[in-house]
Structure formats: C-alpha cells, structure tokens
Chains A and B, each alone.
Chain A
C-alpha cells in the first residue's frame, strides 16, 4: 500500500517516546499503515464547495465567565505522582 511506505515507524516511535521491538515495529507499521490507507480513502472524497470546519457541530463561543473555583488540595493533586519532593513532582532531570 502506498500509505505504509510513507510511514517512518522509527520517527513515529521516537515522537511517542516508545521503544519498540522489531516485531512491534512490523506489527504497528502494518496497523498504522491500514489507518493511513483509510484516511487516504477519505482524502479522495471531493469536498469542493464544502465549508471547512473544526468541529462537527455548528456551535461556537462556549465559555465560562472568569470566576475562579476551588482547585485540588496539593496532597490530592500529587497523589498519583510516583516521586515527589517539596510538594512538587520529581521527574528525571530534563534539560530542553
């Protein structure tokens, strides 16, 4: 299929921060290739004259007034963090 040849599985895996085994790469290449193929079919539909839209529902301006509500207590906010220190989430050292 044309679509799967455009798929660079190493690039996609790196973007997703996934370490894949050769078997997984082959398997996901095939699955993602099918997805791309499907999208490719959708891409063939003639949409000339159809208004572009960001959403299926014609609804705009869904908002709240700027009135703060209570947030989470810090211990609740951090309860899923595997490591924490000084009320902050500890992560491996990162430098952009």
Chain B
C-alpha cells in the first residue's frame, strides 16, 4: 500500500517590539539574566496587564501580508498550567477568538534544476493568534534555573492546516514564512535566538484516505534544516512502524538535529487541561477598517511577488532574482542601481550584485548596509562596461578597488591609469587591421551590409589594448579601414 505524509506546522514568532506584550519593561535578547523584569512579568500581587499597541499592529500586518481575515473583535484568555517558566501559572493567549483567521503562505518547491523555477503552491493557514512568551529554564544536574527576561515578550503563533506532504514542503513553508515576516519588519526570525520556533504535527495515511492518521508532535526543531531533517526522519519512522505491522502512538517526540535521532518525551500523566477562560484584566481588541487600511498601506511587496516583477519588469533571470529576494534591502539596492543604470542594464546590475558584490561581502564578512559600494557606483560601473569604456577583466580590478575604498569607478580609472587612453594611433591601426584579418566572416557580413558585424572586431582590439583604447577612436579607425 502507498502511504502519504500529512504535516501541519505550529510556528511561534517573537514580535519585534521595544517593550513586552502586557507591560512596558524592555524586551530583548542576550541581556544578563532577570534584568528585563517588572512586577507584571513577575506576577506580583495587584498588577494589571496593559496591551502593547505595536505588537497588535505587527500581528495584524502579518495577517494582512498572509491574506488572513482580521477579526473585527477578539479577546484574551488565560491558559492555566503550572510550570516555573510562567510566574503567573497561566499564559495570556487567545483561545476561541484569534486575531487572524485563514490566509496562506505561498511556497516554492525545488525546481528540476537550480536555474529553473520550481512549482509554487499555497499552504493554507488555520489561524494566527497573539500571546506572551514564557521564561527560559536552564537545566542542571540537580536543579533548574529560571530567567524571566523572555517572559512576556509578544509572541505570534501561526498555525497551518495539515496541508503539507513532505519535509521539502515544510522547509519551503518555513523559508517563505520567515522571509515574509522579515520583509514586514515583524520579526528578525533568528532561530538561534529563539525568535522563530517550530513544532510539527506529522501523521501518515494510505493514499486516498481522507481521515488523518494518528499524529506525532515533533518538538525542539531549532533550525530550518533540522525541521526538514526531523520531519523526513519522523515520516520514515512512522512508515517503518506500519510496515512492521505496528500502530502509531500519539506522542510528543524530541528530535536531536545533531545526532539525527528522535526520542519520545516522557509521556504526560494526563492530557492537557488548560482550563481557558477570558482574562478579566484585559479589554477586548476591536479592529476597524481605518486601522486595517493604515497597516495595509505599510505592507511591503511579498518576496515572490517581487521576484515575478523583477523577472518581467527587468528581464532578470530566475537564478539571479532568487538571490535578490532573499533580503528586502538587497532587492531595494538592486532596484535603485537598475534605475540609475537605465533601461536594458538591469541584468548586468543583477549579475554584478549577486556574483561580485555578495561574494566580496561574504569574503569580507560584512553586510550589504556597510558595503562601501553603493547603488550609484555599481550603476556607473555597469554603464562604463556597457558603453565599452571598460573591458570585463579591467572592470573586475576596478570593482575590487571600489569595494575596498568606496571610490567611484571613474575616480579609480583615472587614478590607476586605467582610463581609455588613446594609444599610439599607429599601434591602434595595427590592432584594428589584425582584428579585421582575424575575422573574415565578420568582414564579409559587414561588406554585405550588416552594420552590427563591426562589433565583432572591437573585442579583440580592446583586448590587445588591455581595455585602454577609446571606444570612439576604435570605432572610427575600424570604419576608416573597412571603408
């Protein structure tokens, strides 16, 4: 019998705010333990929570970017449980009235080759709700130490429908979701800092079956690659159990990305009984059209929309655009440089940006924002090449100096003596004669009236001149000799 896997993901994303969700002490990562607390975080008697407006803005914006319906009214509920990560013994969350409903995440699956766009599909979302993060426990041999710095940080829970069927789809989903959140400025989604965390619900069923199989929850998937590996591993494990004639037990398993092994977490003594009820300390949230439309106007173009536009508007190939959309600032940089370079030169701009600038940035271990080559200079370089003033190999030298100094290419060409200096006219004439003699086919074509055939002689001349000949002078000399 053939089986298919069914995967749903629950993704927690920390919202990038300056203060916490229900109190105004600062939120942050990497601070000394228990330095980001106040009476509300510590749940001291008599405190009252007050919502963070920016966190609401962010989650509504996230919902709008993902095509969710925004609930006109939603409320807050207490989720009761006893665990030292929560000093209140409950977490403020949203139970039956999440702020965002429905929506979906567009994903791209791997294509048949690296330079061919893969299949796109939309993974539907169930809901997004807002809650508060809990404290961090550090486990030692005989006790656990609690740090409440993270407690109360605004946290979105993004729940997908059980609509993915492979580890690759889950990987593509997380990659796309993360890019969208980062584009929107909603979160930095750094998994190492716990800003994005993922749990996966995985089951298998015979192909054609519509009911879901018994699900296993996979926890502690702390990098996107571990999510892919952990899911692939779990699907294989479940299929092996079935092949042996066994049945899948509903459980929570922990996947260790380092060893590639999963193990059942100690089964809970009883099913969760969170006894949700409305938080009497918090008033509901009402979202009107004006609020939504203001946030809608702040939503950026989504990564895949941008990629499609770059491909059609600038004729930049898929491979280059795939890189350009990885980072919103990189795409902005590209557009500015392409605009400055002018029509027909965007592809060259994209190539220099992706192949050369990003490589140098990687080697220098810096980032785009600190790179000394700005869009105007990259555009200038491309224009110097396209106009024939700079040969490709000279251009690489110029670019390296641009990257090191931040000077404009024109200034570098001037200073380094790379300028298209008129060489000895006799020498130039000899190079032109050699070029014509070396290409009888182009000569015949030119004589037959094909004007553009003259360009075939220019490359060898420029090469002989080591890129330093004046293109106008080369053109004039060739025409004189061909006349």
Q: Spell out A's residues near B (CB within 8 Å).
A: 11, 14-17, 54-55, 57, 59-72, 74, 77-78, 83, 85-96
Specify the main secondary structure of chain B where it touches its partner: loop
B33 and A87: CB pair below 8 A?
Answer: yes
**Per-residue CB proximity of B34-60 to A under 8 Å, as 1/0?**
111111011000000011111110000
CB atoms of A64 and B84 under 8 A apart: no
B18 contacts A67, C-beta separation under 8 Å? yes
- In the complex, the number of residue pairs spanning A and B with C-beta atoms less than 8 Å apart equals 138
Task: Establish whether residues B143 and A90, one from each chain, have CB atoms under 8 Å apart when the complex forms.
Answer: yes
Q: List 5 A-B contacts (CB under 8 A).
A: A66-B17, A71-B36, A74-B35, A86-B145, A95-B266
Question: Which residues of A are found within 8 Å of B32, using beta-carbon distances?
Answer: 74, 87
CB within 8 Å for A93 and B283 given contacts A64-B51, A77-B34, A86-B33: no
Q: A16 vs B82: C-alpha distance in the bound complex, in angstroms? A: 8
A21 and B276 CA atoms in complex are apart in Å by 27
Q: Could you tell me if A69 and B24 are in contact, using CB atoms closer than 8 angstroms?
A: yes
Best-surrounded residue of B25, B143, B265 (most CB of chain A within 10 A):
B143
Cβ contacts under 8 Å, B18 to chain A: 66-68
Query: Is B34's CB under 8 angstroms from A63's CB?
Result: no
A45 to B142, alpha carbons, bound, how many Å? 53
Min CB–CB distance A82 → chain B (angstroms): 12
Residues from chain A with a CB closer than 8 A to the CB of B52 are 63-64, 66
A-contact bits for B122-150, CB 8 A (1 contact / 0 none): 00000000000000011111111111100
Residues of chain A with a CB closer than 8 A to B82's CB: 15-17
A55-B283, A60-B286, A74-B35 as given contacts; A15 in contact with B273, CB under 8 Å: yes
Q: Closest CB of chain A to B30's CB: distance in Å?
A: 14
Cβ of B275 within 8 Å of any chain A Cβ, yes or no, is yes
Across the interface, B144 reaches (CB within 8 A) one of A15, A77, A90, namely A90
Mark contacts of B82-99 with chain A using CB atoms, 8 A cut-off: 1 yes-contact digit, 0 otherwise.
111000000000000000
Known: A74-B34, A94-B137, A95-B139. A61 touches B54 (CB 8 A): no
Min distance, Cβ B95 to any Cβ of chain A, angstroms: 11
Contact of B51 among A63, A88, A93, A94 (CB under 8 A): A63
CA A11 to CA B55, docked complex, whole Å: 36
Contact B38 A72 (CB under 8 A): yes
> Chain B, interface size: which category?
35 or more
Nearest-CB distance from B464 to chain A (Å)?
64
Q: B261 at interface (Cβ–Cβ under 8 A)?
A: no
Please pick, from B26, B36, B285, the residue contacting A60 in the complex, using a CB distance under 8 A.
B285
Q: Which residues from chain B sit less than 8 Å from chain A, CB to CB?
A: 17-19, 24-27, 32-39, 41-42, 50-56, 73, 75-76, 80, 82-84, 137-148, 265-266, 269-270, 273, 275, 278, 280, 282-286
Contacts of A83 in B (CB 8 A): 143
* Given A54-B278, A69-B25, A72-B39, residue A78 in contact with residue B19 (CB < 8 A): no
Separation of A4 and B18 alpha carbons in the complex (Å)? 48
Say whether, besides A54-B278, A71-B36, A74-B32, A92 and B143 are in contact (CB < 8 Å): yes
Distance, CA A61 to CA B53, complexed state (A): 9
List the A side residues contacting B34 at CB < 8 Å: 74, 77-78, 87-89
Nearest-neighbour CB distance to chain A for B133, whole angstroms, equals 15
Closest 5 A/B residue pairs (Cβ): A66-B54, A71-B25, A88-B145, A54-B75, A68-B26
Q: Which residue of B lies closest to A66 (CB)?
A: B54
B284 and A60 within 8 A (CB): yes
Residues on the A chain within 8 Å of B283, using CB: 54-55, 57, 59-62
**What residue of chain A has the Cβ atom nearest to residue B26's Cβ?**
A68
Q: Are B143 and A67 in contact (CB under 8 A)?
A: no
Find out whether the CB atom of B33 lies under 8 angstroms from the CB atom of A61: no
Cross-interface CB contact of B84 among A62, A66, A74, A94, cutoff 8 Å: A94
Q: Which residues of B contact A66 (CB under 8 A)?
A: 17-19, 24, 52-55
Contact A91 B143 (CB under 8 A): yes
Q: Is the CB of A89 within 8 A of B55?
A: no
State A17–B269 Cα separation when bound (angstroms).
13
Residues of A within 8 A of B17 (CB): 66
Min CB–CB distance B135 → chain A (angstroms): 9
Q: Is the CB of B144 within 8 A of A92?
A: yes
Chain A contacts for B142, CB-based, 8 A: 93
Docked Cα-Cα span, A16 to B265, in Å, equals 23
A94, B19: Cβ atoms closer than 8 Å: no
* CB contact between A71 and one of B37, B140, B266 (< 8 Å): that residue: B37
Q: How far is the CB of B54 from chain A (nearest CB, A)?
A: 3
Q: How far is the CB of B426 from chain A (nearest CB, A)?
A: 73
Residues in A whose Cβ lies below 8 Å from that of B84: 89, 91, 94
Listed residue (A15, A72, A78, A86) with the most chain B CB atoms within 10 angstroms of its CB: A72
- Contacting residues, chain A, for B55 (C-beta < 8 A): 66
A90 to chain B, nearest CB (A): 5
Q: Are B24 and A54 in contact (CB under 8 A)?
A: no
- Chain A residues near B50 (CB-CB < 8 A): 62-64
Say yes or no: A96 contacts B19, CB within 8 Å.
no
Instruction: Select which of A11, A68, A74, A89 is within 8 A of B146 by beta carbon.
Output: A89
